[in-house]
Amino acid sequence: MHMIDPILATYNLKKSFGALTATDDVSIALFPGEIHAIIGPNGAGKSTLISQICGGIQPDSGRVELLGHNITQTNVSMRARAGIGRTFQVSALAMEDTVLQNVLLGALGGSGTPWHFFRPALKDWRLRDKAMTALIHVGLQAHAATRASELSHGQRRQLEVAVTLTLEPKVFVMDEPMAGLGAEGSKNLTELLDNLREKAPILLVEHDMDAVFKLADRISVLVYGHIIATGTVDEIRSSKVVREAYLGDGV
């Protein structure tokens, strides 16, 4: 189908917890410029899959490749350095710190070395430029000096994206970015993500079907740890298997 190589791919990932098979032979690929959404009912194993892609959980078998390199054996921070930029389902920010400090942390991680002890981080213009560029990109530049704890829920999601942007990732992996957002916030974030795919492809785990249908180039449906279908929005909408297994009730 695709003549080009995927940026990120999993091959036959398997993971069980005791008798429960959380990930069952999952092979998915993310190609340049696309948003590939993963949908599925609660308990389908989406979080476990994300963790295996980002390095938090080791699969029992199978492998994860980034730009053709096998990264299955590496840990979370190594994968982040290799180019996986993730956002969390529940905002994982340094809440006592300012927006700018949070983004600087990303820039610092992206720059590779935090081992500077004497020059103030806020006066490192190279880091600061990178951080401000990311804030402007998500529209939070006016809040640079606000504490993360004082941001609205939607702004925190934007900040998550900004932190990830500073890493200049090869791929984005986003775990339910729309969770908990109202209609307005959801619309803003959808717009933001829509433009983001030019920077790097996005693997998007999401419950909000409106957003998924609006954004996704391709969709994979995960049920009981197994991918039952992968295809374009229209293919998925019209798939009988999918309707029975998932969309049939609730959407």
Partner 1 sequence: MIRESYLNALVLFLLLAVPVWATIIDEPFTITLATRAVIFALAAVGLNIALGLGGLVSLGHAVFFGIGGYAMGILAHHAQTYTPVMSLPFLIEGTKSMPVIWLVAMASSGLAAFAIGTLSLRTTGVYFIMITLAFGQMFYFFTISWPTYGGEDGLSVYVRNEFPGLNTLVPIHFFAICFIILCLVLLLNALIAKSPFGLALNAARQMPKRVQAVGLNPNRLKLLAFVISGVIAGLAGALFADLNRFVSPTMFSWQMSGEIMVFVILGGVGRLCGPVVGAVVFVMLEHFLGGLSEYWHVYLGALLLIVVLFARGGLVGLIVGRVDAHD
Angle at 167 between CA 27 and CA 191, to 5 degrees: 75
Asked if 52 and 31 touch (Cβ cutoff 8 Å), the reply is no
Closest to 87 in 3D by CA, of 245, 208, 204: 204
| Binding residues with partner 1: total (CB under 8 A) | 47
Which region among 8-16, 30-38, 142-150, 223-231 touches partner 1 (by CB under 8 A)? 142-150
Q: Which is nearer to partner 1, 76 or 233 (CB)?
A: 76
| Residue 3 or 145 with smaller CB distance to partner 1 | 145
Of 30 and 223, CB closest to partner 1: 30
Q: Is 124 in the site for partner 1 (CB under 8 A)?
A: yes
Q: 53-72 mask for partner 1 (x: CB under 8 A)?
A: -x------------------
Q: Residue 203 forms beta bridges with which residues?
A: 36, 173
User: Between the CA atoms of 63, 7, 203 and 16, what dihedral angle is there, to the nearest 10 degrees?
Assistant: 0
Q: Indicate whether 136 belongs to the interface with partner 1 (CB under 8 A).
A: no
88 binds partner 1 (CB under 8 A): yes
Give the residue with the Cβ less far from partner 1, 110 or 225: 110
The minimum distance between CB 112 and partner 1, in angstroms, equals 8
Q: How far apart are CA 10 and CA 29, in angstroms?
A: 7
What is the x/- site pattern for partner 1, positions 92-111, by CB under 8 A? xxxxxxx-xxx-xxx-xxx-
CA–CA gap between residue 114 and residue 112 (Å, rounded): 7
The answer to whether the CB of 171 falls within 8 A of the CB of 85 is yes
Closest CA to 222 of 15, 66, 76: 15
Sequence letter at residue 219? I
Q: CA torsion, points 228, 207, 1, 83, in degrees to nearest 10?
A: -120
Residue that is written with structure tokens 């993730």 in the block: 86
Q: How far is the CB of 209 from partner 1 (least distance, A)?
A: 27
Smallest gap from residue 185 Cβ to partner 1 (A): 21
Phi, psi at 160, each rounded to 5°: -55, -45
Binding flag, residue 80, partner 1 (CB under 8 A): yes
The smaller minimum CB distance to partner 1, of residues 94 and 251, is found at: 94
CB of 170 or CB of 218, closer to partner 1: 170
Q: Could you say which residues in the range 160-219 bind partner 1, by CB under 8 A?
A: 163-164, 166-167
Which residues sit opposite 105 in a β-bridge? none
| Contacting positions for partner 1 (CB under 8 A) | 54, 75-78, 80-81, 85-86, 88, 92-98, 100-102, 104-106, 108-110, 112-122, 124, 127, 144-147, 163-164, 166-167
